């Protein structure tokens, strides 16, 4: 079952290569939806997904995969959002010019599911880096004018971090004399290492995860990545789902090196809080929707890191919750930007009109002609800035609650992000949707609703009934927090 | 007088003899049959040798009182060498299409060189090893000056002069080691070094250093790599392809044998080797960054790869041997594959400008896709074979405690991404500017697909082959 879930997208990506046009879209959407359906079955019927078999026995590498609580939640979000994004993309007028998006998005989905499922460090690394390839291809094939620069930046940051992690992975095995790279075998041996070794190995892992989170000052690739990608937002959604640094911290770095994590806790809490504030601050002065969303995402990731480094169950649960659900509503905001761009941009090959369509405040007062569109956008922005009753609030609030117990000063710094993000989000919203109308756009049509309705439902439902998701996270969070001496 | 017949086991030398006989036929037959037939004959001969190597697997036969051994190490390297030679033979067929006929002697000399490389990989005796080394080198000197252009002649002469110098140093080193231990057999040297009455440790150390320099030259480790870019660029592309994989693999086989079996307990060469590796990794990768010609870029990248495999020489033989063999096997497929694509795309033997690859993704999808595959694998992106190879080498070196070098290797291989990804970016993300020729015949296209499949399979199910490699360990 778990193999089907992980590899169906990749298999269908290969099949989709043989089709064109509508057939390719249908095959791809079918693959993403079936992966989602199977993940949902695993969730609802609590199917046991533990699987372990030697991969490179001589080197102690196992093909070891499991969907436990956090993995399952993130897998559900990834499969759902990929499905919705591909459906949205097939409705777009310019989708036939960028048909490669379908197989690339599916290949990325396999990579993401592999990242969430892998329990062997080398296997994890393989999925972690392999996912980069389709991501780079999306940017390189369908991105905008300065895409090659953005691409180089992203590739260099990610690979540098990744290779340092690889060195740490190899080091972890040899310093602990573990027979394999399986997490369960490494774990329990690593706490016998002395603090200095632990710290170096921990920093190696962190190099990769801080780039992927991203965490200040390793965030520089992110704004370019989003700004230069295809205006439809498909690549941005996949990129948002690919922010797996927080998950990697939770799954590997923190439980393997608890002493190092505790020792460096305050440094990273301040760094995380600063990242959150910095992201919100820069977002305030962004003139382009995609950059705005990129910095908003950076701000969220700062909060995720803050929650993780609080090292207590409530903060970490909040961080995982935020990580999962920002994958829903931040991704949806990228789709909203894509929908807006499609309505405003007359010529998607023209760099200038595309930039204008993505510019904040180039057109104003759109709410007059499209009130429902405006309402949906506002709802998603509310979720993003953590208004109570929506999914964003639960995560942010738990993070602050957990982080306050660990480090009140860093938390105080981070809490001011809430005000800053409200400021930038509402300013951007007001300038585009309110004020006096300069132009009119078509209202959301049935197809748009078809894409947005499930996303809105998830955002509202888990904002009100967050229990089912938190329950999924709880056992793992308690286990990791127990190691770290949290209550 | 009692005549003792020499210990000759022809079965153990079957792959070697097959290649040598094919070479002899390839020397005589060009008077009677066409060039194409010779190419076919060479390919068949190599395939028979391949089959023989596979058939001898695990039999551990030996000849000449153990001086020549067909153990799994030798056979594994033999398979890699034969595959490298096969790729060169198939690629050479396309050369005719761009008007530059490869005379039929090409195949004969290539096969003589292959027999030399196989001898080098099977030798357990310094003299046999040296014979293999010289046979291989002589063949390659001729091959690299095979085109009647000033570039090619310059390459050949440069390689010959510098190569002879390196051989002289190697022979000097062998003489010193013999002087210190009184033995030529690799295991015998080690036994002599370990014996309590061994007193010549300083002579042995100097000998080891000389041997180190000789081999560093052949595998192109900095600072003895200076010949590489010129020779690799000047030589015909097919020859460069062969040199960069088979000659390197064979030289590493000898390198691993001498330092892993004979001199592992001699001190004094480990620290210089670490410096050589560190320098190679930095110079190879940083110089490759600045190249605008694809052939030259691949030449420098092969210098960098010598640095990675060098790590395996430092590691303990039990892990170093198998990981180096695995790495070189994958490297043969991906590097020779990349050269095969370069060969069919260039209008002459000077290679092509990287910029001119722009737009190849849409005009020549198969060539672009396979080149992408090979470059990604060379860069070590999982799940392709190159990653597994790098990982095995890194972990072998790490388990012997060479942490600093492993970190340096990881960092420099991150740098290498910049130059491996650039051609890919150009091929797919830029519109076409120059129209490149396409000389690929059907055999080359099949070859490229087979190489790409091999790179993928060795990456996805490394166990299938690495399980066998466990047997290489002593």
Q: Which of B327, B329, B255, B334 is nearest to B298 (CA)?
A: B334
Q: Which candidate from A54, A141, A163 shows the least CB-CB separation from B429?
A: A141
Structure confidence at residue B438 (pLDDT): 85
Q: Do B428 and A170 lie within an 8 Å CB cutoff? A: no
Query: CA-nearest residue of chain A to B372?
Result: A133
Instruction: Say what the alpha-carbon torsion angle B19, B220, B144, B358 is, to the nearest 10 degrees.
Output: 110
Spatial contact of B133 and B255, defined as CB atoms under 8 Å apart: no
Q: Do B391 and A160 lie within an 8 Å CB cutoff? A: no
Q: Residues 6 or more apart from A267 whose CB is under 8 A from it?
A: none
Whether chain A has a CB inside 8 Å of the CB on B399: the answer is: yes
Spatial contact of A250 and A70, defined as CB atoms under 8 Å apart: yes
Q: Do B382 and A130 lie within an 8 Å CB cutoff? A: yes
Q: Write the pLDDT tens digit of every residue in A244-254.
A: 888 999 998 88
Q: Residues 6 or more apart from A325 whose CB is under 8 A from it?
A: A77, A383, A391, A392, A394, A395, A458, A459, A462, A469
CA distance B166 to B251: 13
Structure confidence at residue A487 (pLDDT): 42
Spatial contact of B41 and B25, defined as CB atoms under 8 Å apart: yes
* Token duo for residue A105: 């998005």
Q: Which of B175, B168, B289, B282 is nearest to B222 (CA)?
A: B282
Q: Is the pLDDT of residue B342 over 80?
A: yes
CA distance A255 to A262: 11
Give A111's contacts in chain B (Cβ within 8 Å).
none
Give A167's contacts in chain B (Cβ within 8 Å).
394, 398, 406-407, 410
Whether chain A has a CB inside 8 Å of the CB on B381: the answer is: yes
Q: Is the pLDDT of residue B145 over 80?
A: yes
CA distance B173 to B176: 5
CA distance B269 to B205: 7
Q: How far is B416 from chain A (nearest CA, A)?
A: 10
Q: How far is CA A179 from the centre of its chain?
A: 33
Residue with the bigger pLDDT between B105 and B167: it is B167
Q: How far is B146 from chain A (nearest CA, A)?
A: 39
When pLDDT is averaged across residues A152-164 and rounded to a whole number, the result is: 87
CA distance A269 to B163: 59
Give A56's contacts in chain B (Cβ within 8 Å).
388, 462-463, 466
Query: CA-nearest residue of chain B to A147?
Result: B429
H or E stretch covering B269: none
CA distance A230 to A228: 7
CA distance A73 to A42: 11
Q: How far is A48 from chain B (nearest CA, A)?
A: 25
Structure confidence at residue B471 (pLDDT): 61
Spatial contact of A229 and A139, defined as CB atoms under 8 Å apart: yes
Q: Do B463 and A170 lie within an 8 Å CB cutoff? A: no
Q: Residues 6 or more apart from B32 whose CB is under 8 A from it?
A: none
Q: Do A140 and B428 lie within an 8 Å CB cutoff? A: yes
CA distance B284 to A14: 36
The strand ranges marked E within A385-476 are none
H or E stretch covering A171: helix A147-176
Length of chain B counted residue by residue: 474
CA distance A372 to A441: 12
Strongest mean pLDDT among A89-98, B91-100, B195-204: B195-204
**Phi, psi values for residue B173, rounded to 5°:** -60, -45
Q: Is the pLDDT of residue B362 over 70?
A: yes
CA distance B302 to B291: 13
Strongest mean pLDDT among B2-6, B96-100, B318-322, B324-328: B324-328
Spatial contact of B167 and B231, defined as CB atoms under 8 Å apart: no
DSSP code at position A436: S
Structure confidence at residue B86 (pLDDT): 94
CA distance B251 to B132: 10
Q: Average pLDDT, whole number, for chain B? A: 89
Q: Residues 6 or more apart from A216 whose CB is under 8 A from it?
A: A271, A274, A275, A278, A298, A302
Give A129's contacts in chain B (Cβ within 8 Å).
381-382, 387
Structure confidence at residue B226 (pLDDT): 87
Spatial contact of A91 and A335, defined as CB atoms under 8 Å apart: no
CA distance A173 to A256: 11
* Token duo for residue A46: 């609590």
Q: How far is A56 from chain B (nearest CA, A)?
A: 5
Q: Which candidate from A55, A125, A174 shows the least CB-CB separation from B399?
A: A174
DSSP code at position B30: G
Structure confidence at residue B474 (pLDDT): 46
Chain A with chain B: Cβ pairs closer than 8 A: 86
Q: Angle, to 10 degrees, between the axis of helix B105-122 and the axis of helix B126-144?
A: 160
When pLDDT is averaged across residues B264-278 and rounded to a whole number, the result is: 91
Q: Do B383 and A159 lie within an 8 Å CB cutoff? A: no
Length of chain A counted residue by residue: 487
Whether chain A has a CB inside 8 Å of the CB on B146: the answer is: no
When pLDDT is averaged across residues A438-459 and rounded to a whole number, the result is: 88
Tell me the CA end-to-end span of chain A in Å, nearest whole number. 35
Q: Write the pLDDT tens digit of every residue in A386-431.
A: 888 888 888 899 999 999 988 899 999 999 988 888 888 888 888 8
DSSP code at position B380: T
Q: How far is A484 from chain B (nearest CA, A)?
A: 28
Whether chain A has a CB inside 8 Å of the CB on B404: the answer is: no
* Token duo for residue B194: 């370990």
Give B394's contacts in chain A (Cβ within 8 Å).
166-167, 170
When pLDDT is averaged across residues B78-106 and rounded to a whole number, the result is: 84
Whether chain A has a CB inside 8 Å of the CB on B464: the answer is: no
Structure confidence at residue A110 (pLDDT): 93
Q: Do A129 and B466 lie within an 8 Å CB cutoff? A: no
Query: CA-nearest residue of chain A to B472?
Result: A58
Categorize the per-residue pLDDT at B117 as very low, low, confident or very high, splitting at 50, 70 and 90: very high
Q: Write the pLDDT tens digit of every residue in A232-277.
A: 888 888 888 888 888 999 998 888 988 888 889 999 999 999 999 9
When pLDDT is averaged across residues A298-310 and rounded to a whole number, the result is: 91
Q: Write the pLDDT tens digit of every residue in B420-470.
A: 988 998 888 888 888 888 888 888 899 999 999 999 988 888 877 766 666
Q: Do B406 and A133 lie within an 8 Å CB cutoff? A: no
Q: Which of B122, B79, B45 is nearest to B332 (CA)?
A: B79
Structure confidence at residue A273 (pLDDT): 93
Instruction: Say what the alpha-carbon torsion angle A416, A214, A309, A62 is, to the nearest 10 degrees.
Output: 160
Q: Do A167 and B462 lie within an 8 Å CB cutoff? A: no
Structure confidence at residue B124 (pLDDT): 92
When pLDDT is averaged across residues B312-339 and rounded to a whole number, the result is: 91
Query: What string of H, E and C letters represents the secondary structure of B402-446?
Result: CHHHHHHHHHHHHHHHHHHHHHHHHHHHCCCCCCCCCCCCHHHHH
Q: Do A132 and B381 lie within an 8 Å CB cutoff? A: yes
Q: How far is A335 from chain B (nearest CA, A)?
A: 24
pTM of whole model > 0.95?
no
Q: Do B387 and A126 lie within an 8 Å CB cutoff? A: yes
Instruction: Say what the alpha-carbon torsion angle B129, B131, B137, B141 is, to the nearest 10 degrees.
Output: 180
Q: How far is A455 from chain B (nearest CA, A)?
A: 33
The DSSP code sequence of B177-213 is: HHHHHS--BHHHHHHHHHSTT---HHHHHHHHHHHHH
Most B-contacting residue of A170, A197, A200 (CB-CB within 10 A), to test interface: A170
* Token duo for residue A206: 């962190």
Q: Is the pLDDT of residue A331 over 50?
A: yes
DSSP code at position A97: G
Query: CA-nearest residue of chain B to A122?
Result: B391
Identify any residues that bridge with A330 across adjacent strands, giving them in sequence order. Answer: none
Asked casually if ipTM beats, i.e. exceeds, 0.90, the reply is no
CA distance A99 to A25: 8
Give B403's contacts in chain A (Cβ within 8 Å).
171
CA distance A302 to A310: 12
Q: Residues 6 or more apart from A361 whose CB is under 8 A from it?
A: A287, A431, A432
Query: CA-nearest residue of chain B to A178?
Result: B399
Chain A residues whose C-beta sits inside 8 Å of any chain B C-beta: 54-59, 122, 125-127, 129-130, 132-133, 136-137, 140-141, 143, 147-148, 151-152, 155-156, 159-160, 162-164, 166-167, 170-171, 173-174
Structure confidence at residue B278 (pLDDT): 94
Most B-contacting residue of A59, A127, A144, A149 (CB-CB within 10 A), to test interface: A59
Identify the weakest region by mean pLDDT among B79-83, B113-117, B146-150.
B146-150
Q: Do B421 and A58 lie within an 8 Å CB cutoff? A: no
The strand ranges marked E within B240-297 are none
Q: Residues 6 or more apart from A397 whose CB is under 8 A from it?
A: A318, A386, A388
CA distance B76 to B322: 9
Helix, strand or coil, per DSSP, at residue B73: helix
Q: Do A126 and B411 lie within an 8 Å CB cutoff? A: no
Residue A401: CA count within 13 A, CB half-sphere: 13
Query: CA-nearest residue of chain A to B399?
Result: A174
Give B392's contacts in chain A (Cβ within 8 Å).
59
Q: Residues 6 or more apart from A474 whose CB is under 8 A from it?
A: A69, A313, A317
Most A-contacting residue of B285, B381, B403, B470 (CB-CB within 10 A), to test interface: B381
Q: How far is B38 from chain A (nearest CA, A)?
A: 40
Identify any residues that bridge with B70 across adjacent strands, giving them in sequence order. Answer: B61
Q: Do B428 and A137 lie within an 8 Å CB cutoff? A: yes
CA distance B135 to A471: 71
């Amino acid at each position: 079952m778990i193999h089907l879930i992980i590899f169906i997208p990749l298999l269908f990506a290969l099949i989709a290569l043989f089709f064109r046009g509508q057939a390719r879209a249908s095959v791809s959407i079918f693959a993403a939806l079936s992966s989602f359906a199977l993940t949902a079955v695993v969730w609802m019927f609590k199917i046991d997904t533990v699987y372990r078999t030697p991969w490179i026995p001589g080197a102690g590498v196992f093909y070891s995969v499991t969907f436990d609580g956090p993995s399952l939640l993130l897998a559900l979000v990834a499969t759902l959002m990929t499905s919705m994004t591909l459906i949205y993309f097939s409705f777009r007028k310019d989708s036939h010019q960028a048909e490669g998006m379908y197989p690339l998005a599916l290949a990325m989905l396999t990579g993401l599911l592999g990242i969430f499922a892998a329990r062997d460090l080398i296997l994890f690394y393989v999925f972690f880096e392999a996912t980069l390839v389709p991501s780079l291809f999306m940017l390189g094939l369908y991105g905008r004018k300065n895409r090659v620069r953005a691409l180089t930046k992203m590739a260099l940051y990610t690979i540098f971090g990744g290779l340092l992690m690889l060195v740490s992975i190899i080091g972890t095995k040899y310093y602990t004399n573990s027979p394999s790279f399986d997490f369960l075998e490494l774990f329990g041996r690593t706490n016998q290492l002395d603090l200095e070794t632990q710290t170096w190995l921990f920093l190696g892992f962190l190099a990769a995860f801080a780039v992927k989170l991203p965490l200040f000052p390793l965030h520089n690739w992110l704004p370019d990545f989003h700004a230069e990608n295809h205006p439809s937002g498909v690549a941005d959604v996949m990129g948002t789902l690919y922010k797996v640094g927080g998950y990697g911290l939770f799954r590997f770095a923190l439980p393997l090196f608890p002493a190092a994590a505790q020792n460096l806790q305050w440094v990273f809490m301040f760094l995380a809080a600063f990242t959150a504030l910095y992201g919100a601050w820069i977002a305030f002065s962004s003139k382009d929707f995609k950059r705005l969303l990129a910095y908003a995402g950076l701000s969220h990731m700062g909060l995720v890191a803050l929650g993780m480094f609080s090292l207590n169950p409530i903060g970490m649960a909040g961080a995982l919750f935020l990580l999962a659900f920002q994958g829903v509503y931040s991704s949806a905001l990228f789709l909203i930007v894509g929908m807006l761009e499609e309505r405003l941009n007359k010529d998607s090959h023209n760099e200038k009109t595309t930039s204008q369509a993505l510019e904040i405040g180039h057109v104003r007062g759109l709410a007059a002609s499209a009130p429902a569109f405006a309402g949906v956008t506002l709802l998603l922005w509310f979720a993003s800035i953590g208004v109570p009753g929506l999914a964003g609030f639960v995560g942010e609030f738990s993070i602050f609650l957990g982080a306050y117990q660990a480090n009140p000063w860093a938390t105080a710094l981070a809490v001011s992000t809430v005000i800053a993000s409200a400021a930038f989000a509402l300013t951007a919203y007001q300038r585009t949707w309110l004020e006096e109308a300069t132009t009119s756009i078509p209202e959301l049509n049935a197809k748009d609703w078809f894409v947005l309705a499930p996303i809105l439902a998830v955002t509202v439902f888990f904002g009100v009934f967050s229990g089912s998701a938190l329950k999924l996270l709880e056992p793992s969070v308690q286990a990791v927090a127990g190691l770290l001496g949290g209550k | 007088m009692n005549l003792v017949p020499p210990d000759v086991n022809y079965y153990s030398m079957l792959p070697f003899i097959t290649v040598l006989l094919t070479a002899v036929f390839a020397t005589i037959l060009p008077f009677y049959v066409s060039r194409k037939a010779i190419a076919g004959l060479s390919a068949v001969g190599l395939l028979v040798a391949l089959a023989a190597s596979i058939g001898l697997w695990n039999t551990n036969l030996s000849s000449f009182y153990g001086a020549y051994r067909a153990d799994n190490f030798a056979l594994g390297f033999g398979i890699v060498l034969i595959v490298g030679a096969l790729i060169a033979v198939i690629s050479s067929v396309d050369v005719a299409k761009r008007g530059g006929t490869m005379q039929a002697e090409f195949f004969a000399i290539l096969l003589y060189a292959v027999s030399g490389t196989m001898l080098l990989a099977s030798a357990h005796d310094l003299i046999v090893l040296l014979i293999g080394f010289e046979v291989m080198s002589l063949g390659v000197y001729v091959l690299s000056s095979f085109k009647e252009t000033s570039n090619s002649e310059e390459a050949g002469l440069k390689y010959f002069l510098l190569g002879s110098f390196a051989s002289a140093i190697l022979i000097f080193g062998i003489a010193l080691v013999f002087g210190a231990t009184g033995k030529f057999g690799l295991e015998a040297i080690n036994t002599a070094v370990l014996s309590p009455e061994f007193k010549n440790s300083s002579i042995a150390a100097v000998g080891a250093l000389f041997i180190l320099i000789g081999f560093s030259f052949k595998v192109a480790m900095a600072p003895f790599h200076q010949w590489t870019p010129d020779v690799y660029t000047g030589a015909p592309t097919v020859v460069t392809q062969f040199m960069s994989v088979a000659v390197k693999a064979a030289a590493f086989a000898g390198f691993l044998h001498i330092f892993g079996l004979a001199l592992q307990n001699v001190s004094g060469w480990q620290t210089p080797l670490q410096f050589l590796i560190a320098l190679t990794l930095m110079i190879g990768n940083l110089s490759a960054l600045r190249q605008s010609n694809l052939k030259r870029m691949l030449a420098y990248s092969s210098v960098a790869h010598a640095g990675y495999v060098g790590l395996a020489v430092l590691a303990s033989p039990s892990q170093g041997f198998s990981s180096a063999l695995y790495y070189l096997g994958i490297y043969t497929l991906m590097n020779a594959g990349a050269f095969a694509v370069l060969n069919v795309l260039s209008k002459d033997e000077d290679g092509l400008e990287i910029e001119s690859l722009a737009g190849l993704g849409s005009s020549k999808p198969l060539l672009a896709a396979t080149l992408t595959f090979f470059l990604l694998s060379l860069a070590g992106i999982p799940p392709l074979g190159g990653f597994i190879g790098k990982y095995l080498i890194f972990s072998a070196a790490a388990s012997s405690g060479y942490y600093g070098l492993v970190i340096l290797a990881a960092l420099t291989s991150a740098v290498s991404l910049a130059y491996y990804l650039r051609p890919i970016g150009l091929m797919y993300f830029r519109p076409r500017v120059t129209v490149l020729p396409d000389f690929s015949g059907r055999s080359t296209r099949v070859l490229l697909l087979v190489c790409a499949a091999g790179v993928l399979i060795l990456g996805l199910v490394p166990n299938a082959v690495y399980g066998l490699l466990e047997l290489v360990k002593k």
